[in-house]
Amino acid sequence: MGKREDHKAATRREIQLATLDLLETAGADATTVARIAERAGISERTFFRYYDSKESAAVPGQSELLDTLLARELVPGASPAEILRELIDVCRAQFAYEVEQVEFKRISRLLLHEPRLLQAVFRQEQHLVNTLGSALEERGLLPGMQAQLVAELIACTWRVAWQCFARQESAGRSSNPAELFEQAVQNLAEITAPKAFGR
Amino acid sequence: MGKREDHKAATRREIQLATLDLLETAGADATTVARIAERAGISERTFFRYYDSKESAAVPGQSELLDTLLARELVPGASPAEILRELIDVCRAQFAYEVEQVEFKRISRLLLHEPRLLQAVFRQEQHLVNTLGSALEERGLLPGMQAQLVAELIACTWRVAWQCFARQESAGRSSNPAELFEQAVQNLAEITAPKAFGR
DNA sequence: GAAAATACTGTCACAGACTGACAGATCTTG
DNA sequence: CAAGATCTGTCAGTCTGTGACAGTATTTTC
């Protein structure tokens, strides 16, 4: 409902775009909150009412992924492996979707060269891991450590797939995202295969 | 070579201790660089010649672990699983060692309640993962994605073990660190077991 | 449709994090 | 001990991030 919501969403978007533009054209050092605000047509003070730092204005939230993961109904009796498998399936779909978004490649390119931005992504991931881990535990699906581990493995797989994708993109080779994600999952299963790894 | 090195090491240590003291007694908000510097008997400017932020003055570096991991000789023909296993063994030993250090519990307690400090730890871990991943790839031990994945799994296991340890400590129950780490490794192998997880 | 409650924004003021430049003190080396 | 390298403090400055307040726009209520 309403004019207010629309305006907020528009401002939020303006800020994000202004930030990306500046990062690309002027570089990370020259991208100050003052210049972002100016370009977005708002005051510096208002910027901080939308984002708590310029880094978080540049990187996308992972709230969609998190919501999708939390929405997945899981049967109480399932083994950790089964739960991980289900959740990985959710990620696979989401990854293929997000990778096609307009801003995705722009942001990826920036992230590869700006450690400070990467930090903001990790902050998002930390939140996702914590929330998901706690949810798995509180719903009685998994005991503490396993819940934590499953959540970490989700984030881990996502990160590896993303990083490979971003690197290949920046090297010119464009690759099939779904296939890449699948490969990450396969490797994960192989590397930790009990016959060679466990005891 | 002598006096200068000693003095630097001493100052570095003083800063770290001053930071921990302040964090514990005054809380994170009241812990400013100015107060740390004052307590350590140095100028504010000098603080930044030792640490690049107050967060990194509080959290320990992971350079020891990284060095140990990099020093491990690995046979070129080994499978990813074997390599992971070898490196995990290194971690197991290091974990049992570090957990006994004097500052470890103090820092752990702080980390559980101060997200900003936790961020500094992740920065360290990111560095470890990157360096280790690159090393594994450059030495021709593993192809890119697998190298990355192995490095991530190392960090992931470490993090989970540490977090469980810290939580149990803060809840009063003191637990055997080696056993806890072992349990994390076991769970990792189990959760990703191909029979239930792979296809 | 006006008035009251609510939400958004800009201006101002400020504390804290960090950095470059320079000068003086301290250590190392031949 | 003298020359050179290294460390430190002072100063001055930019940038981030936040609280307080007043004015404006929107929604709600009657």
Can you give the pLDDT of all 199 residues of chain B as single tens digits?
A: 688 999 999 999 999 999 999 999 999 999 999 999 999 999 999 999 999 999 999 999 999 999 999 999 999 889 999 999 999 999 999 999 999 988 898 999 999 999 999 999 999 999 999 999 999 999 999 999 999 999 999 999 999 999 999 999 888 888 888 899 999 999 999 898 766 675 5
Residues of A in contact with B81 (CB under 8 A): 190-193, 195-197
**Which is it for the CA torsion B134, B135, B140, B143, positive or negative?**
negative
What does the pLDDT read at residue B16? Answer: 97
Look up the protein residue whose alpha carbon has the minimum distance to the C1' of C27.
Answer: B4
How much is the CA Rg of chain A, to the nearest whole Å? Answer: 19
Interface contact flag, A146 B80, Cβ < 8 Å: no
Confidence of residue A3 (pLDDT cuts 50, 70, 90): confident
| Residue A199: per-residue pLDDT | 55
**A113-140 residue pLDDT tens:** 999 999 999 999 999 999 999 999 999 9
Q: DSSP code of B74?
A: -
The Cα-based distances of A185 to A84, B147, B155 in angstroms read: 11, 14, 18
CA distance A150 to A81: 8
**In chain B, what's the furthest Cα-to-Cα distance?**
62
Contact A84 B192 (CB under 8 A): yes
8 Å CB contact of A196 and B85: yes
A190 and B80 in contact by Cβ < 8 A? yes
For residue B145, CA distances in Å to A73, A157, A182, B137 come to 31, 11, 12, 9
Among chain A residues, CA nearest to B146? A187
Q: Is A34's pLDDT higher than 60?
A: yes
Nearest by Cα to A125 from B155, B113, B69, B56: B155
Cα separation, A104 vs A96, whole angstroms: 11
Q: At a CB cut-off of 8 Å and minimum separation 6, what does A17 contact?
A: A40
B160 contacts A148? CB cut-off 8 A: yes
Shortest distance, CA A148 to any CA of chain B (angstroms): 7
Protein residues closer than 7 Å by CB to strand C: A 4, 7-8, 11, 41-46, 49-50; B 1-5, 7, 31-34, 44-45, 48, 52-55
pLDDT at A196: 63
**Residue B134: how many CA atoms within 13 Å on its side-chain side?**
7
Look at residue B196 in the predicted model and tell me its pLDDT: 63
Indicate if the pLDDT at residue A8 is higher than 70.
yes
pLDDT at site A84: 95
Angstrom CA distances, A163 to A14, B72, B120, B192, stand at: 27, 26, 21, 21
CA of A20 to C1' of C8 (A): 25
Residue A103 C-alpha, separation from nearest chain B C-alpha, in angstroms: 24
Which has more confidence, A19 or B101?
Answer: A19
